[in-house]
Chains A and B, each alone.
Chain A
Amino acid sequence: MKRASLAHIAVVIAVLAAVPLLTASNLVLNFLVVALLIALVGQGWNVLGGYGGQYSFGHAAFFGTGAYVSAILQTRYGVNAWLAFGLGIAGGALIGAAIGALTFRSGLRGSYFALVTLAFAEVLRILASVAPITGAGVGILITLDLRPQAFQFQSRAPFYWIILALLAASFLIVRLIEQSRFGAWLVAVRENEEAAKAVGVNTQRVKLAAMTISAAITAAGGAFYAQYFLFIDSGIAYGPWISIEALLAPIVGGIGSAFGPLLGALLVKTLGELTKLVTGDAPGLDLVIYGGVLILIVAFAPQGIAGLIADLRLRFARLRPRLPERAHG
């Protein structure tokens, strides 16, 4: 898999950063904020699933914890929103480390890892839907306070730049991982855990570190969600929808590549919007299409869109020298 160069990352981020200068349309910005949010959450999943080969079906656990920690600290304890945002990330990382420690110590892999992460997310969802501190069935409404100190803004553009900055940070983290020895260990675990262990990689610690980083990135997405929409409840924060979006984006875009989650999120969200345009706001239909796309990608393009592009490039590179010959013959 081709690695992300700093130049590539800089160009992509710069192009995206210019969008609010070109349009003030709330529709466009809102769409992009949500797409970048999914890209960020997907990048979190990608660290553990794409590079480490551990497929989590319950990233909602981290997304929701980030959202709830940040929202609860603000609304119930009067903590500053930016500080609460940071603590939300820390809370998500902590939950990730805790779930990782439990599951990896028990040697759960493959199907069982997917299953147990799903179960943890569901337990948290049910707890959040009954516990008073999370607002039980009602959810939490963050008080409107449109000041930058309160992490709330009049227009969408600042939100857009913040989520873009978070995404840029996640690109850099992934690039650091790709270049580090830790990244090599992580890929070794994905390719063959036994062999990695045999050559002396502490596979448990590597997986645990990957899960903690993965959870932190995803929790940042959750805390941002709370700030952007100013409302969360158990179904939003810990619901299965976000676990599915988290894995859909990187798999559609290109698993185990830095740009995969962004590509995937943009494509999937565009598809979702197009569906809404055609059919109106019909509940469920966008997810039907997402599921269908997931099956098609797994069946026909296991390396995602990034893989397809690389394939096409290779084919063109092979075709080019032949073209003049054909013209003569």
Chain B
Amino acid sequence: MLSPIILVPAILNGLLTGAVYGLVALGLTLIYGVLHIINFAHGALLTAAMFAAFFAHRLLGLDPYLAALGLTPLFFALGYCLQRFVIGPAAHGEDRNILLVTLALAVVIENALLYAFGGDTRTLNLAYAFDVVDIGIAFLALPRVMGFAVVLAVALTLWLILALTDTGKAIRAVAKEKLGAELSGIDVAHIYAVTFGLGTACLAIAACLLIPTYYVNPHIGNAFVLVAFTIVVLGGMGSVTGALIGGLFVGVVESLCGLYLGESLGQIGIFVMFILVLLLRPAGLFGERA
């Protein structure tokens, strides 16, 4: 057994990483909860957002936290347009087609980035990237603590939007009963696109939180999105709080697996957990949608 001196920081760091995982999962679960589709392009969109954040700093000198203010609406618009003008019309309302279209989008985005920027791994060197906060029992990386706080703020904002605004009510109505919502005058195609936009906007924020301490390459999103799938399945499809709590949990599991088994096997820990959850708790968590 490891001593608490190693264990406690590992758990705390896991929680901090997990918060960002939670944010990625939040976008995924929101889209699933309303559109009832698994968005296979989620990882590629996260990669795109990370590249955007990277170049916002490299070319425009924008701090990632500042860039988030611009990238979030930009990615909201991107997500809105993708659903409204590509996924929706191309899928003809068939679930199998939606799967294929989001997968195809993922392939296009990922490889367009590969073509444009090459396969190299890039990192930003920010002055504060290695700053730490001393909380007595452990030192925590400042960017991660910031990330944790931002994730909580975003989750709260999202919750308020869903609970209080008319659009939020419409989103919840469509999620519950699509036909009924349509009959009461809600523009379902618009709400679908807004939801997709919100899910994509979450990615822009997550990307800006990740970029100070992480690296970016054209395949980076995949690592996060499978983690996000695991979280979404764990926390219950479509559940906002489930995504956050699942995110924290998975973050800790990953951190501990990495500690005991090493980096690459720690990644396997996530996959194995994911497959186990899918296999053992399918009915209750996913319902009967085919």
Chain A residues in contact with chain B, CB under 8 A? 53, 55, 57, 102-103, 106-112, 114-116, 119-120, 122-123, 126-127, 129-130, 193, 244, 247, 251, 282-285, 287-288, 290-292, 294-295, 298-299, 302
- Identify the stretch in B60-68, B90-98, B123-131 within 8 Å (CB) of chain A at 4 or more residues: B90-98
Given pairs A111-B95, A116-B275, 13 additional interface contacts (CB within 8 A): A53-B96, A111-B289, A112-B38, A112-B278, A112-B282, A112-B286, A114-B103, A193-B290, A288-B107, A290-B107, A292-B108, A294-B100, A294-B103
Contacts of B118 in A (CB 8 A): 283
Known interface pairs A109-B290, A193-B290; A288-B115 also in contact (CB < 8 Å) = yes
Contacts of A295 in B (CB 8 A): 86, 90, 101, 104-105, 108
Contacts of B282 in A (CB 8 A): 106-108, 112
Contacts of B96 in A (CB 8 A): 53, 55, 110
Chain B residues in contact with chain A, CB under 8 A? 37-38, 40, 86, 89-92, 95-97, 99-101, 103-108, 110-115, 118-119, 218, 226, 229, 264-265, 267-268, 271-272, 274-275, 278-280, 282-283, 286, 289-290
Chain B, residue nearest A296 (CB): B90
Number of A-B residue pairs at CB separation under 8 A: 128
What's the minimum C-beta distance from A240 to chain B, rounded to whole angstroms?
A: 8
| CA distance in complex: A283, B38 (Å) | 28
Contacts of A284 in B (CB 8 A): 110-115, 218
Known interface pairs A123-B271, A298-B101, A299-B89; A106-B280 also in contact (CB < 8 Å) = yes
| CA distance in complex: A295, B99 (Å) | 11
Q: Looking at the complex, which one of A110, A126, A193 makes contact with B95 (CB distance below 8 Å)?
A: A110
Are A244 and B268 interface neighbours, CB within 8 A? no
Are B279 and A115 interface neighbours, CB within 8 A? no
Known interface pairs A53-B96, A109-B290; A287-B107 also in contact (CB < 8 Å) = yes
Q: Looking at the complex, which one of B99, B105, B115, B272 makes contact with A111 (CB distance below 8 Å)?
A: B99
Are B275 and A120 interface neighbours, CB within 8 A? yes
Are B271 and A107 interface neighbours, CB within 8 A? no
Contacts of B283 in A (CB 8 A): 107
Q: List 25 A-B contacts (CB under 8 A).
A: A57-B103, A108-B278, A108-B282, A111-B38, A112-B282, A112-B286, A119-B274, A119-B278, A122-B226, A126-B264, A193-B290, A244-B103, A244-B107, A251-B100, A284-B111, A288-B107, A288-B115, A292-B108, A294-B100, A295-B104, A295-B105, A295-B108, A298-B90, A298-B97, A302-B97
Are B272 and A123 interface neighbours, CB within 8 A? yes
Are B271 and A55 interface neighbours, CB within 8 A? no
Chain A, residue nearest B115 (CB): A284
| CA distance in complex: A292, B274 (Å) | 30
| CA distance in complex: A57, B104 (Å) | 11
What's the minimum C-beta distance from B56 to chain A, rounded to whole angstroms?
A: 22
What's the minimum C-beta distance from B44 to chain A, rounded to whole angstroms?
A: 10
What's the minimum C-beta distance from A153 to chain B, rounded to whole angstroms?
A: 33
Contacts of B37 in A (CB 8 A): 111
Are B111 and A287 interface neighbours, CB within 8 A? yes
Are B95 and A116 interface neighbours, CB within 8 A? no
Contacts of A244 in B (CB 8 A): 103, 107
Chain B, residue nearest A299 (CB): B90
Contacts of A298 in B (CB 8 A): 90-91, 97, 100-101, 104
Known interface pairs A106-B278, A109-B290; A282-B115 also in contact (CB < 8 Å) = yes
Q: Which 8 A-B pairs have the closest CB atoms?
A: A284-B114, A291-B108, A291-B107, A299-B90, A284-B111, A284-B115, A294-B104, A287-B111
Contacts of A119 in B (CB 8 A): 226, 229, 271, 274-275, 278
| CA distance in complex: A283, B217 (Å) | 14
Are B108 and A288 interface neighbours, CB within 8 A? yes
Are B111 and A106 interface neighbours, CB within 8 A? no
Known interface pairs A103-B279, A106-B279, A294-B100; A126-B268 also in contact (CB < 8 Å) = yes
Contacts of B289 in A (CB 8 A): 109-111
What's the minimum C-beta distance from B282 to chain A, rounded to whole angstroms?
A: 5
| CA distance in complex: A292, B283 (Å) | 35
What's the minimum C-beta distance from A22 to chain B, rounded to whole angstroms?
A: 35
What's the minimum C-beta distance from B116 to chain A, rounded to whole angstroms?
A: 8
Chain A, residue nearest B37 (CB): A111
What's the minimum C-beta distance from A82 to chain B, rounded to whole angstroms?
A: 34
What's the minimum C-beta distance from B138 to chain A, rounded to whole angstroms?
A: 30
| CA distance in complex: A210, B229 (Å) | 27
What's the minimum C-beta distance from B260 to chain A, rounded to whole angstroms?
A: 15
| CA distance in complex: A55, B278 (Å) | 16
Contacts of A290 in B (CB 8 A): 107
Contacts of B95 in A (CB 8 A): 110-111
What's the minimum C-beta distance from B229 to chain A, rounded to whole angstroms?
A: 6
Chain A, residue nearest B87 (CB): A295
Known interface pairs A108-B282, A283-B119, A288-B111; A55-B268 also in contact (CB < 8 Å) = no
